[in-house]
Amino acid sequence: MKKVFFIILIVGISLCSKAQQDPQFSQNMYNLLTFNPAFAGVGDEMSGSIINRQQWIGFDKAPVSTAFNGNVPLRIGRRLHGLGLTVMSDKLGIENKTNIKFQYAYQFKVFKGILNAGVSIGLQNNALKGEWKALDDGDPSLTGGSIDASKMVFDAGLGFYYRSKTLYLGASISHINKPNVAYNGSIETYLYRHYYFMGGYKYELTNQIDIIPSFFIKTDAINMQYDINTNAVYNKKYRGGVSYRVDDAIVFLVGVLLRNGLDIGVAYDVSVSDIKKPSLEFMLAYHFTPSLIKRKQKYKSIRFL
């Protein structure tokens, strides 16, 4: 009975936490495949990236999120396609969520740009493992103990992504099948659908400086989170910017794109919420165009539009 009670408690806390069923990142504009399967195949480069976020530094067992993304554009006949792979880990206390999903996108020419329609399918494993202590509420049956439970479910998503020379817009849904992740057969607990909206615009300030404002919105239809960002890019190589996550944090971002295709980014969150702890995020990506997929493409890279 103690174990069932604890499972109910942990799952309830997870589901009631603001926008925490899906992990949070600050460099979303360079991490779109994690949340939108339609981003698969964007640009004319193969790419791989890894991003790691240490949230609320200083708290014991605070959230740690890591995502790996692989992205491949393909031309089959006259048709353009994209394939993607995302492997993600999200740890919070004794809870550990692991998600692996494959993405496919099909590209259409629309007006003066390209529209991608994408789907994702995969598996998510939710696990609770560790020692726990109950609060002293006078109930001698709740003295604490250990927990080791897990549940793997099928997971699916859907997305759209439009881009032109200077603009991108996207929308996606994760957990579209609303999988049941209850650790106990008598409890029904779900991964609730999350809806994402994203967009950005490149303004050429000078021949060497581009200003790129962007937004990223996440909601589970109950709570909503807004990220508003502006990045400045110099010589299509160096970048710096600032984001505001409404009622949560001010984020400072820097990055550099090296000539060999290596892309390095760092984000530092300064909390403006009641949780007065900073967060730190690192990104490492590699972009390359092997002869196997080289093709004539109007939009050569999506990294800086």
pLDDT digits (tens, 9 = 90+) for 117-165: 999 999 999 988 777 665 555 555 555 567 778 889 999 999 999 999 9
Q: What is the pLDDT of residues 47-80, one digit of tens each?
A: 999 999 999 998 888 899 999 999 999 888 778 8
3-class DSSP assignment, residue 176: coil
User: Would you say residue 200 lies in a domain?
Assistant: yes
Is residue 253 assigned to a domain?
A: yes
Q: Are 252 and 258 in contact (CB under 8 A)?
A: no
For residue 196, give its domain range: 2-137+145-288
Backbone angles phi, psi at 179, to 5 degrees: -65, 145
Q: Is residue 58 part of a domain?
A: yes
How confident is residue 272, by pLDDT bands cut at 50, 70 and 90?
Answer: very high
Over residues 194-204, the mean pLDDT reads 96
Question: Average per-residue pLDDT in the chain?
Answer: 85
> Is the residue at 303 inside a domain?
no
What's the number of domains the chain is made of?
1
Say what the pLDDT of residue 62 is.
Answer: 87
pLDDT at 302: 55
Instruction: Name which residue leads in pLDDT, 11 or 89.
Output: 89
What is the C-alpha separation between 214 and 228, in angstroms, rounded?
A: 6
How do 167-174 and 194-201 pair as beta strands? antiparallel
Q: Is position 257 within any domain?
A: yes
Q: What is the pLDDT of residues 223-239, one digit of tens each?
A: 899 999 999 999 999 99
Stated pTM of the model: 0.85
Statement: residue 304 has pLDDT above 50 = yes
| Percent of the chain with pLDDT strictly greater than 70 | 82
pLDDT of residue 187: 65
Q: Is residue 305 part of a domain?
A: no
CATH code: domain of residue 132: 2.40.160.40
SS3 16: helix
Q: Comparing C-alpha atoms, which of 227, 250, 281 is closest to residue 51?
A: 281
Q: Residue 300: inside a domain, yes or no? A: no
**pLDDT confidence tier of residue 17, bands split at 50, 70 and 90:** very low
179 assigned to some structural domain: yes
